Amino acid sequence: MTLIKSISGIRGTIGGRTGDTLNPLDIVKFTTAYATFIPRKTGRIVVGRDGRLSGHMVRDVVCGTLVGMGFDVLDIGYASTPTTELAVRMSGADGGIIITASHNPRQWNALKLLNSEGEFLTAADGAEVLAIAEKEDFQYAEVDNLGHVTVDNSFDDRHVQSVLDLKLVDVEAIRKADFKVCVDSINSVGGLILPKLLDRLGVSYKFLNGEVTGDFAHNPEPLEKNLQGIMDEMKTGQYDLGIVVDPDVDRLAFICEDGKMFGEEYTLVSVADYVLSQTVGNTVSNLSSTRALRDVTEKHGGTYAAAAVGEVNVTTKMKEVNAVIGGEGNGGVIYPESHYGRDALVGIALFLTSLAKKGCTVSDLRKTFPDYQIAKNRIDLTPETDVDAILVKVKEMFAKDSSAQVNDIDGVKIDFPDRWVHLRKSNTEPIIRVYSEAQTMQLADELGKKLMRVVYDMQK
């Protein structure tokens, strides 16, 4: 059981003791702190939730707390993370709370906090919310000033329409391509909104795990090891493309027509390649993402920049360098023409447009991009692990290596001419992520495992 307070929100397992998990008392505390912090203009907060088993309970606690703080709640019900982000902006609300633990397993849930632009709070704002929560010096509304809850289920349709209205989404080209796709929406809200998008695009589809039960059919992180079901379905030869989303529909992975993974790192690369072919500009991804985005960006005459891991870090850097597209290598596409948030619907529509215009198979499209392989490993942490001390030692080990560039803005990334490895403490789980990239998976994994052995030796 654990409770994690970070730049990615308040996240924890359901049940257990207060202060150690995401339970009703802690949900009240952090929701109150957020309501205390957020500037009050309209007095309205949007609340949306994914399909998790605990979602209804958490929603009731969050909405009741906001009402007790004197805020009116716009409850949009089952909603993806990008839908909730757009709903804040579309409704002119003061902020929003998304109830989702994204890719975490079924026992987890979380509160993701948004500002009035429908974007995640900055690190500084998030730190202030946490400080307010720790003080527990709260003041609630008197009976005559309590808020009200209004239910509005229109935002899925409004989200879909906003995607169709994007200039680089060619609905007619997609319709003419007559695509047939298989979708794994992992028993959450993707099963509600993605059929609406695909219907409007004229795409035929079959859904796996499309029922919104919250009882996930497999580990919900959209990685190859968790996707054997849809990969086997794709091997039947009935489909042009496989589409996989996580429970809150901000991460996106594709599967080729032959049942092989397109590669989650190449979701952003492929969409960026299409966008950059139509719009001159710069790109951003995080330090743990593939070099292929840099290569594609430079091919189109743009400049690539890297940001610390965390969506708000990426969007901050995107604004700084005026990026036309960005995101994260975990399948997160951020397209500012829509909004500054990872959005699988935007990614799907842009990818299908590109595929329709190129007139090729998905596997042939994949061959057009620089081919790198990323190994994604992890080191589970104990309460006694001093992560900061470990990262300092790793940095010192490579500081004198003339062939390596060391970046410590987020953990430690060691960049060699033909490969890299990045160690960082996760924002969402009690682990150290160890990502490494090279020309082959064997070389990438060997580099990652080498650094893992160094860390394990330090812990002895």
pLDDT digits (tens, 9 = 90+) for 295-309: 999 999 999 999 998
Q: How confident is the prediction for the chain on average, in pLDDT?
A: 94
Instruction: Give the angle subtended at the CA of 294 by the CAs of 121 and 408, to the nearest 5°.
Output: 55
Long-range interactions of 407-410: CB distance < 8 A, separation 24+: 407/287, 407/306, 409/287, 409/308, 410/286, 410/287, 410/308, 410/309, 410/310, 410/313
pLDDT in tens, 68-84: 999 999 999 999 999 99
Residues 246/428, Cβ–Cβ less than 8 Å: no
pLDDT tens figures, 158-196 = 999 999 999 999 999 999 999 999 999 999 999 999 999
Cα 371–Cα 376–Cα 380 angle in degrees, nearest 5: 175
What pLDDT is attached to residue 401? 81
Q: Taking residues 257-270, report their average pLDDT.
A: 96
The pLDDT, as a whole number, for residue 262 is: 97
In the block, residue with structure tokens 């080191």? 379
Give the residue, 335 or 430, on which the prediction is more confident: 335
Provide the pLDDT confidence category of residue 460 given band limits of 50, 70 and 90: low
Question: Using 50, 70 and 90 to split pLDDT, how confident is the model at 8?
Answer: low
pLDDT of residue 77: 97
The C-alpha atoms of residue 281 and residue 303 are separated, in whole angstroms, by 7
Counting residues of the chain whose pLDDT is more than 70, the rounded percentage is 98
**Annotation says 162 is catalytic:** no
What pLDDT is attached to residue 458?
76
Residue 133 neighbours by CB under 8 Å, 6+ apart: 29, 30, 32, 33
pLDDT tens, residue by residue, 207-257: 999 999 999 999 999 999 999 999 999 999 999 999 999 999 999 999 999
pLDDT exceeds 70 at position 119: yes
Of 248, 233, 215, which is closest to residue 112 (Cα–Cα)? 248
User: In the predicted model, is pLDDT for residue 325 greater than 90?
Assistant: yes
pLDDT of 123 reads 87
Phi, psi angles (nearest 5°) of residue 452: -65, -40
Backbone angles phi, psi at 46, to 5 degrees: -90, 140
Task: Read off the pLDDT of residues 395-419 as tens digits, 9 standing for 90 and up.
Answer: 888 887 888 889 888 999 999 988 9
C-alpha 18/C-alpha 360 separation (Å) is 54
* Residue 3 confidence (pLDDT): 83
Check residue 429 and give its pLDDT.
74
On the 0-12 / 13-18 / 19+ scale of CB atoms within 10 A, 48 is buried
- Decide if pLDDT at 459 tops 70: no
Say whether pLDDT at 330 is over 70: yes
Residue of 91, 102, 188, 426 marked catalytic: 102
- Give pLDDT tens digits for 346-381: 999 999 999 999 999 999 999 999 999 999 899 887
Q: Rounded distance, CA 164 to CA 74, Å?
A: 25
Nearest to residue 220, comparing CAs of 196, 244, 242, 195? 244
- Side by side, which strands form the sheet with 323-328? 304-307, 282-286, 323-328, 332-334
Q: Tokens at residue 427, please?
A: 């924002």
Q: Residue 7's pLDDT is what? A: 62
**Burial class of residue 254 in the structure, from the number of CB atoms within 10 Å of its CB (0-12 exposed, 13-18 middle, 19+ buried):** buried
